[in-house]
Amino acid sequence: MKVVYTDKAPAAIGPYSQAMILNGVLFTSGQIPVDPATGEIAGDTIEVQAEQVMKNLGAVLAEAGTSFENAVKTTCFLADMGDFAKFNEIYAKYFVNKPARSCVAVKTLPKNVLCEVEVIAAVE
């Protein structure tokens, strides 16, 4: 197993890693819309927060030597399913290969953000 860490994504705020690689497969922790440069939540709309989540995931994927194109499964958490369509617009710009996905609404996300996404991706 290999631990993945980049300072271009938010540091873990608990006892976990940004991501792990096992047998050529990357498993990311859920990324929330924290700007790694400031430690602050990016924006207050689903569009701005989803963009920051994707930037954070992109940084973790790049550090692991892979990309959005190699994603095979995502799990998406929304604070409000009313944001589903707007979230999908942002998501679709990054996950163009349409990996398998689960998307659920949850009662509360860390730091009261609007979305969180985790990814499983092949590492070539």
What are the residue numbers of the active site? 103
Please name the residues in contact with 88: beta carbons below 8 A apart, sequence gap of 6 or more: none
Sign (positive/negative) of CA torsion 105, 52, 110, 96? Answer: positive
